[in-house]
Amino acid sequence: MLPIITLGLPLAASIMVLFLKKKQIVKQFSLVLSVIIFITTLFYYPFFYNLTSDLPIKITDTLLSFSMDGLSYLMLLLTSFASMLIVATSFIENQERSNIFYSLFFLTIFALTGVFTTQNSLMFYIYWELALIPVYFMCGFWGGKGCEKITIKFFIYTLFGSLIMLSALIYLYVKTPYPHSFNFEVIYKVVLSGSEQSWIFWAFFIAFAVKIPIFPFHTWQPDTYTVAPMSVTMILAGIMLKMGVYGIIRLMLPITHLAMIQWGGFASILAVIGIVYASIIAITQTDIKRLFAYSSMAHVGLLVVAAFSMNKIAIQGVVFQMLSHGVNIIGLFFVAEIFNVRIGSQKIGNMGGIAKIAPKFATFFIIIMLASIALPLTNGFVGEFLMLLGIFQTNFWFAILAGSGIIFGAVYMLWLYQRTMYGKINENISSFADLTINEILIFSTITIVILGMGLFPSSLLNIAEPTINQILKIN
């Protein structure tokens, strides 16, 4: 039953929304649907929060090649929660043909749900590609200036990455004993030589590196985040990039273990370069969304270094941080969009002194900012602490370099906050309305999650525990 509900609801939502006409009704209906999806996901929490068993609890369905363990469940929790936030925040925007927009949105959610729950490498690939297509259209039709060119770049770039992954998946299929199988469990057991592992490692790595993105495969990302409609940017940064990190944990760690030892250090170096590089670039950005884009790139760089450390504590941190980052980056892009809608500009130079006229907005912005720079008691701290601790146990230098991200993070975030919220009120701003009730509700939800996850992280860490043990034990 669960597989049908989990996969079926977003798909059904995607179709149902199409038949609605009025914009307001489309939005409200979408919100109701996304809340239902989140609540049904939440419903399974007690089932996975099982402290007595060491073995991973799984819900499987062979027909749909559906499988949900702790890791998948957490990813679904993120997907459903984030999609609820995204629909709620999209109320401040005004899309033409909104029924098609939300239909595409739910189609993406359906595909993402598929990616996180499938047990079959072919289905994994199909969902992976399927997630991209609606995003491409949403970007192209509802995006800002210069969107088409950037959208095509984004599309070709990610398609290129995934085709390489496809070749690796097919190779793995061929390697499985007769009758061949796409099933992950079967693929995990395939014995591969060192050189085979090496090329499969790189094939996966490039696909995931483009999606996440990792330096130097990232240049599609700042452009896309900047011009795409807010909801799309939120999907990309909040959920979709986690497909890549999920892929590293689900596929690379078990399948290319030897190559990880051989090449993991090299891949980590790229990610570490990305952290420092993106953090430093973020400092002088003049467009708020572009600044957040580079900040996001720095944060996900840490996810990758931690995942490649193959250290259990670090991977716990990765899983936790995927959820934290998802919530926090959605909060940040919502902040950016509020600026955009109220001032009509994303340029930081056009802002300033807003704390004085919009104190509620200033308060919520600073809370999300503090979570983003990993202040203790926020969700950002727990993830970064566990990741850096795990990295430290495997490579001291990576920990120092990656740890510099928490210093640079403070630099660009505090400076951004100062330039937008403090100082004298910018002449360009005649009025800036403080938050509406709806916006306060959204920000309060985000705040509760930030503090809740920061204070009681174990409620999620324990869910991931058995799966991570299993993945690391396979080696």
Partner 1 sequence: MVSMENNLNILLLLILLFPLAGFLFSGLFGKTISKLVVGILASTAVFIPFVFSIILAANVSENVISLRLFEWIHFQNFNISFSLMADPLTALMLLIVTGVGFLIHVYSIAYMQDDESFSRFFSYMNLFIFFMLILVISSNFLVMFIGWEGVGLCSYLLIGFWYGDHENNNAAKKAFIMNRIGDLGFLLAIFLIFTTFNSLEFSTVFANASQMISGNSTIFWITLLLFIGATGKSAQIPLYTWLPDAMAGPTPVSALIHAATMVTAGVYMIARSSILYALAPEVLGLIAIVGIATALLAASIAIFQNDIKKVLAYSTISQLGYMFAALGVGAFTGAMFHLTTHALFKALLFLAAGSVIHSLGGEQNINKMGGLSKKIKVTTFVFLIACIAISGIPPFSGFFSKDEILSSLFEKNPLLWILGIIGAIMTAFYMFRLYFLVFKGTYRGSEETAKHIHESSKIMIIPLIILALLSIIGGILGLPEWMGSRHFLQNYLSPVFKNSSQILHETKHLVISEEYILIITSIIGVLIAIVCSWFIYLKRYKVFDAKIPVVFRIFEKKYWMDEIYQFLFVKSTLWLSDFFYQIVEIKWIDAIVNGVGVLVVSTGRRLRYIQNGYTEFYVFMMVLGIIALLFINFLIR
Residues contributing to the site for partner 1 (CB under 8 A): 54, 122, 125-126, 129-130, 133, 136-137, 153, 155-157, 166, 170, 173-174, 178-180, 216, 219-220, 277, 280-285, 313, 316, 353, 355-356, 370, 375-377, 382, 385-386, 388-389, 392-393, 399-400, 403-404, 406-407, 410-411, 414-415, 418, 421-424, 455-458, 461-462, 464-465, 469
List C-alpha distances in Å: 153 to 91, 160, 161: 28, 11, 12
In terms of residues, how long is the chain?
Answer: 475
- Find where tokens 């039953």 sit: 1
Would you say 31 or 461 has its CB closer to partner 1? Answer: 461
Would you say 29 or 220 has its CB closer to partner 1? Answer: 220
Would you say 3 or 403 has its CB closer to partner 1? Answer: 403
Minimum distance from CB of 109 to partner 1 (Å)?
18
Minimum distance from CB of 471 to partner 1 (Å)?
14
Would you say 326 or 380 has its CB closer to partner 1? Answer: 380
* Encoded tokens for 425: 């009120």
Using alpha carbons only, give the angle 392, 398, 402 rounded to the nearest 5 degrees.
Answer: 100
Would you say 155 or 334 has its CB closer to partner 1? Answer: 155
Minimum distance from CB of 365 to partner 1 (Å)?
13
Minimum distance from CB of 283 to partner 1 (Å)?
5
Would you say 91 or 277 has its CB closer to partner 1? Answer: 277
Q: Of 421, 410, 420, which is closest to residue 283 (Cα–Cα)?
A: 410
CB 264 within 8 A of CB 367: no
Report the SS3 class of residue 16: helix
Minimum distance from CB of 35 to partner 1 (Å)?
27
Minimum distance from CB of 431 to partner 1 (Å)?
18
> How far is the C-alpha of 475 from the C-alpha of 468, rounded, in Å?
12
DSSP code string of 243-304: HHHHHIIIIIHHHSHHHHHHHHHHHHHHHHHHHHHHHHHHHT-SBHHHHHHHHHHHHHHHHH
